[in-house]
Amino acid sequence: MNSTDLSVLKSAVDWLKAGHPVAIATVVQTWGSAPRPVGSWVAIRQDGQVAGSVSGGCVEDDLIRRVQTEILTRNTPEMVVYGVSQQEAARFGIPCGGTLRLLIEPKPELALLEELLRAISLHQITRRSVDIASGKSILEDGNRSDTFSYDEKTMRTTYGPRWRMVIIGAGQLSLYTADFALASDFEVIVIDPREEYAEGIKRDDLTFIKGMPDDVLLEIGIDPHTAVVALTHDPKLDDLALMEALKSSAFYVGALGSKVNTQKRKERLLDFDLSNEQVKKLHGPVGLHIGALTPPEIAVSILAEVIAVKYGIAV
């Protein structure tokens, strides 16, 4: 669940607890050039206050009016479509004739939303299924491979950290990288066996594991939604992690180091039981070349490259 949608959930829970009537609108289908992806949602209060967005601002004014004057008086979800014609798309400012189909829930259940918020705070991947006819919803365990789905009977949305970044090393660069990864909606795990670093990383927003990187990676498992970034600059630690990460299905594996050191590292890895194809998966020097010099700038370059690979953009 991305940070924008999490803020919507928190706002909806706070407003409902304060006694305000609230509707939640979710993008269930798009055609053409839609500003927001399916699964995006917005919470709208009876007095017109809004949290989140379903169109980047294109249709919100009209949506607020509909919610205030019509939809909040109902008990079951309402389907609203914007941009069916070129004229309507132009009227609402939806680019390139795009179309949005929104499911609006006028009576979201406070207890269920509170339970969902608790699950997310515990980094649990949770799936919410909404019955279109009744508006009733249920929560169940989800997994990283779940995607948003909608048919005429049910809408299913998965919340929680579907993407994960495992950072090897707990130094300054690692913490900046962790901060940007968290802001980009990754679950973050930091691994470092060194005692001097273990004492300085006591945070609730990430998971720190004190252990040898290769052992920990085998314990936690690596799937196609996982990125592994080795940042200790110590071959004894980084190479152990890379040996396991490059054999896994991780969508991204990167390591800190110069071009010369990266080439030497690849030669070392080939001396172990890694194939040429596996070693070629290594991104190094880690991060996009943007002229970064300071730890926060390097962290930005790392996240930029990870996000590009995540979305299949050539780097």
Domain boundaries, the chain: 3-159, 163-310
pLDDT at position 198 is: 79
pLDDT tens-place string over residues 46-79 = 999 999 877 766 678 888 999 999 999 999 999 9
Q: How confident is the model at residue 88 (pLDDT cuts 50, 70, 90)?
A: low
> Which string of DSSP letters, residue by residue, matches 158-200?
EES--EEEEEE--SHHHHHHHHHHHHTTEEEEEE---HHHHTT
| Residue spans of beta strands (DSSP E) within 32-169 | 41-45, 50-52, 78-82, 99-105, 126-131, 137-141, 149-150, 154-159, 163-168
Contact residues for 229 (Cβ-Cβ < 8 A; gap 6+): 165, 166, 167, 168, 177, 252, 253, 254, 255, 286, 302, 306
| Residue spans of beta strands (DSSP E) within the chain | 22-31, 41-45, 50-52, 78-82, 99-105, 126-131, 137-141, 149-150, 154-159, 163-168, 186-191, 207-209, 226-230, 252-255, 282-283
Q: 260 is written with which tokens?
A: 């010369």
Q: What are phi and psi of 58, to 5 degrees?
A: -65, -45
Distance of alpha carbon 131 from alpha carbon 306, whole angstroms: 36
Q: What is the residue whose two structure tokens read 């799936």?
A: 127
pLDDT at position 197 is: 82
CATH 3.90.1150.10, applies to 163-310: no
Cα torsion angle, 314, 169, 180, 43, sign: positive
pLDDT over threshold 60, residue 99: yes
Mean pLDDT of the chain: 88
Q: 5 is written with which tokens?
A: 């949608």
Any alpha helices (H) in 105-158, and if so which ranges? 110-121
Collapsed DSSP state (helix, strand, coil) of residue 78: strand
pLDDT at position 91 is: 57
pLDDT at position 33 is: 57
Cβ proximity of 256 and 286 under 8 Å: yes
pLDDT over threshold 60, residue 89: no
* Cα–Cα nearest to 187, from 156, 220, 211: 220
Which string of b and e fits 244-263 if b means at least 16 CB within 10 Å? Answer: bbbbbebbbbbbbbeeeebe
pLDDT tens-place string over residues 226-263 = 999 999 988 889 999 999 999 999 999 999 999 999 99
Q: 32 is written with which tokens?
A: 């053409």
pLDDT tens-place string over residues 261-311 = 999 999 999 988 889 999 999 999 999 999 999 999 999 999 999 999 999
Pick the range with the lowest mean pLDDT from 83-97, 140-154, 184-198, 238-252. Answer: 83-97
- Residue predicted with more confidence, 44 or 121: 44
pLDDT at position 81 is: 87
**Residue 104, CA atoms < 13 Å, CB-side half-sphere:** 28
Q: How confident is the model at residue 195 (pLDDT cuts 50, 70, 90)?
A: confident
pLDDT over threshold 60, residue 34: no
- Residue predicted with more confidence, 89 or 110: 110
In angstroms, the Cα distances linking 313 to 211, 221, 277, 292, 305 are 33, 25, 20, 20, 9
Q: What are phi and psi of 165, to 5 degrees?
A: -120, 125
